[in-house]
Amino acid sequence: MSEERTGERVGERSGERVRLEDPFAAGAEGLIEEFEAERPARRLDGLPKLLLSITGVALSCYALYWVLNPVPAQVYRTSFLALALAMTFVLFRGWGGSRTGEAERDNPGITDYLFAALSVVSLGYTLVVFDEFVRRAARPETLDLVFGVVTILLVLEATRRTVGWILPFICIIFIAYAYLGALIPDWARVGHIGYGPNRIVGQTYMGLEGLFGVPLDVAATYIVLFTIYGAVLEYSGAGKYFIDVSFAAFGDSRTSPGRTTTLAGFLLGTVSGSGTATTVTLASVAWPILRRGGYPREAGGGVLAAAGIGAILSPPTLGAAAFIIAEFLGVSYLEVLLYALIPSLLYYLGIILAIEADARRFRTLGVDVETPPLGYLLWRYGYHFSSLFLIVILMAIGLSPFRAVFYATIAAFLLSFLSREHRMGPKRIWDALAAGAMGVLPVAATCAAAGIIVAVVTLTGLGLKLSSLIIALAGGSLLFTALYSAVSILILGLAVPVTASFIISAVIIAPAFTELGVPTFAAYMFIFYYAVLSEVSPPTALAAVAAAAVTGGNAFKTMMLTWKYTLPAFLVPFAFVLSPNGEGLLLQGSPLQIGLTVLVSAVAVGSLAVATGAWLFGPARVPERVLCAAAGLLLLYLEPFWVGLGMGVLVLGIAVHIVTLRVSGGAAGPATGITSTTTTNADARPESPRAERPG
């Protein structure tokens, strides 16, 4: 990896400083485009760029208008999808690789404009004949069938352009299953009577259970409003501020590079909303700091990917799947935020403990980054946090999430005028509204395509059939049901985006949990975490691969080290479903139960951190690491007997560790284990550990 690629210029003499450039000036945008599955690939100019911008601003204004003047559900979702599909065909390339040259432009062709026009016509048709259209959903006319098939094909093509061909292929398999169900033999236990084109199109295109169902509703309401809000935050300077305040928040101790990166990832995620995009943006700025602190390339990449993905696991702006949970459960988004609060704290506890271990194993250095003092940043620019707090406060006093984020967006816009550099005049407002609409396009296409799958599952009863098969395969065991479900979700997540992975798993896997007595909200949160964690799971792990592209490290080793940092997030969700006590992690139950559950889980996370970080009071050897790993797993079962057994095993592990240290004389060297292959780096320790950010 060249130094220019990371935006770093390394000094050769002691005392010379490193200057960290703007992340996008250092090539972050191209990397995001390469590794982010939901990222525009075209670079438009001239009339196409103007048309796209106008349509994007119109779509954002339409969404904001809907907050104050609600439009009937099917009318709003249909018109929203028509504009979103038209923009998608203009913005996303149909075939061929991306062009990365600044001077090169890739404007749409005749086919792209034709698809955009067909999107408006096929969906606009339903609005022109709306009253008659909704009444004949059970018996579509010829024109209904024609436009229905065209719309389905357009949605599949838009999805292919934005997130790849696998999700459309899965949708086609589901449609074929709905049509050919009568040919499936009885022993397969998933057969049905079979449905003709009339019924399939009626279910998918002519009601609120298919294309225009809950997934698209979430994209057209929650998600678009949050992408607009994120764009306004970015254009008001919040993204740069969050990085600056993160660098100023910690001193120059040897753990400060890792802790700074983690905090910056969390704050940047409120603007980005994407784990991979957050990872790349963060890496372009923070990797030089980690490198000069002494982090090897793979370990640094693991910290960056874990920090980036953690942002979409954490309140107040969770990933798109969290909004779908709220709609599926019929609860407020604030309640879903509360569900995620303790698991998020445990996630970051695991990362911080891993960073502490790394700082000792790698013997990292503190890195002094020149920023204004933290107190000054909080006093002068702390208003950037105001809109984030405002969202939670407004929801807490009873406002809908839509109005809460609407008012927070206005607040962020008004607060931008406190900074002369980032005040949002007409040009910035226009750009932010256009960017907000463009940000929702891949999610809109994905949600519409997922609606096809939901329609087939509802029509055929496939969800209950597959959940019964999962339970039968697990022998009725809740533990094995959870294991099989986790593996299934991770495998599905390798092929499709997080949002689609959650929707498919929610309609197929969640019934297996509920049939075994697990509350629906706990089942959905289990699925949510595994859908998100697919972004850091080998062999694809886009966030980890993107981090490795910045650090220049080995991609597979970076994946494995990312897995080490995120291990608590893989294991804590099992506590949600294996024991009723695990519901305390979702803030359900009495205060005493919640407190005890959180305490035991924190000890479990600490035990796992010893096992993966290979450090406790000194280097941890294999015996104590095995004992600590076993203790962590037992503690997460959260039943009294297993908690007691886990504490006993943990005490034994600590005792073995202390005895081992005394026998070895307390020598502190790199411990052997899964991370030992990454403890050397030729340029991990430059002569000057000092860096400077441009003012």
Indicate if the pLDDT at residue 670 is higher than 50: no
State yes or no: pLDDT of 272 exceeds 70.
no
CA angle at 307 for the pair 304 and 309, rounded to the nearest 5°: 105
Contacts of 647 (CB under 8 A, 6+ apart): 603, 631, 635
pLDDT of residue 296: 86
One-letter-per-residue 3-state SS of 138-164: CCCCHHHHHHHHHHHHHHHHHHHHHHC
In this model, does residue 175 exceed pLDDT 80?
A: yes
CB neighbour list of residue 65: distance below 8 Å, 6 or more residues apart: none
- What predicted TM-score, i.e. pTM, was given to this entire model? 0.78
Per residue in 154-164, pLDDT tens?
A: 999 999 998 88
pLDDT tens across 512-545, in order?
999 999 999 999 999 998 888 877 776 666 778 8
pLDDT of residue 121 exceeding 90, the answer is yes
Say if residues 164 and 447 touch (Cβ distance below 8 Å).
Answer: no
pLDDT at position 273 = 58
Highest mean pLDDT among 460-464, 495-499, 675-679 belongs to 460-464
Evaluate whether 671 touches 620 at the Cβ level (below 8 Å): yes
Condensed to tens digits (0 to 9), the pLDDT of residues 584-593 reads 999 998 899 9
Two tokens at 183? 């040919």
| Contact status, residue 390 vs residue 601, Cβ threshold 8 Å | no
CA atoms within 13 A on the CB side of 199: 13
pLDDT band at 125 (very low <50, low <70, confident <90, very high): very high
pLDDT band of residue 266 (cuts 50, 70, 90) is confident
Where is pLDDT greater, at 451 or 95? 451
Mean pLDDT value across residues 362-371: 70
Query: What stretches of 316-382 adopt beta strand conformation (E)?
Result: 368-370
Highest mean pLDDT among 170-174, 235-239, 416-420, 660-664: 170-174
Are 203 and 209 in contact by the 8 Å Cβ rule? The answer is yes
Question: Which of 529, 541, 605, 539 is CA-nearest to residue 567?
Answer: 605
Band of residue 649 on the pLDDT scale cut at 50, 70, 90: very high
Mean pLDDT of the chain: 82
Give the pLDDT confidence of 60-106 residue by residue, as tens digits: 999 999 999 989 999 999 999 999 999 999 999 887 554 444 434 57
pLDDT, greater one: 110 or 323: 110
Percentage of the chain modeled with pLDDT above 70: 84
Distances in Å between the alpha carbon of 234 and those of 280, 409, 611, 688, 695?
16, 11, 39, 33, 18
Q: What is the pLDDT of residue 154?
A: 97
Integer CA distances (angstroms), 176 to 184, 212, 283, 601, 666, in order: 11, 20, 43, 45, 65
Average pLDDT over residues 403-419: 91
| pLDDT (0 to 100) of residue 600 | 95
pLDDT band at 665 (very low <50, low <70, confident <90, very high): low
pLDDT tier for residue 688 given thresholds of 50, 70 and 90: very low
Burial of 15 (C-beta count, 10 Å sphere; 0-12/13-18/19+):
exposed
SS3 content of the chain, % helix, strand, coil (to 5): 70, 0, 25
CA 147/CA 129 separation, integer angstroms: 12
Average of per-residue pLDDT across 239-266 = 74
Q: How many CB atoms lie within 10 A of CB 591?
A: 9
Query: Is the distance from CB of 227 to CB of 439 less than 8 angstroms?
Result: yes
Q: Over 90: is that where the pLDDT of 14 sits?
A: no
pLDDT at 548: 85
* pLDDT > 90: percent of the chain: 35
Q: How many CB atoms lie within 10 A of CB 603?
A: 18
**What pLDDT is attached to residue 46?**
86
pLDDT-derived band of residue 153, with 50, 70 and 90 as boundaries?
Answer: very high
Q: Per-residue pLDDT for 478 more than 70?
A: yes
Alpha carbon 15 to its chain's center:
40
Residue 373 sits at φ, ψ, to 5 deg, of -60, 150
Amino acid at the residue 554 = N
| Structural contact between residues 321 and 274, judged by C-beta atoms closer than 8 angstroms | no
The model's confidence at residue 689, banded by pLDDT at 50, 70 and 90, is very low
State yes or no: pLDDT of 570 exceeds 50.
Answer: yes
CA gap 322, 409 in Å, rounded: 20
Q: Please tell me the distance from the alpha carbon of residue 494 to that of residue 513, in angstroms, as a whole number.
A: 22
- C-alpha 281/C-alpha 107 separation (Å) is 26
User: Which of 264 and 224 is assigned the larger pLDDT?
Assistant: 224
pLDDT bucket at 431, cuts 50 / 70 / 90: very high
What is residue 32's predicted lDDT score, i.e. its pLDDT? 55
| pLDDT in the model for residue 106 | 75
In this prediction, residue 300 carries a pLDDT of 87
Residue 185 has pLDDT above 70, yes or no: yes
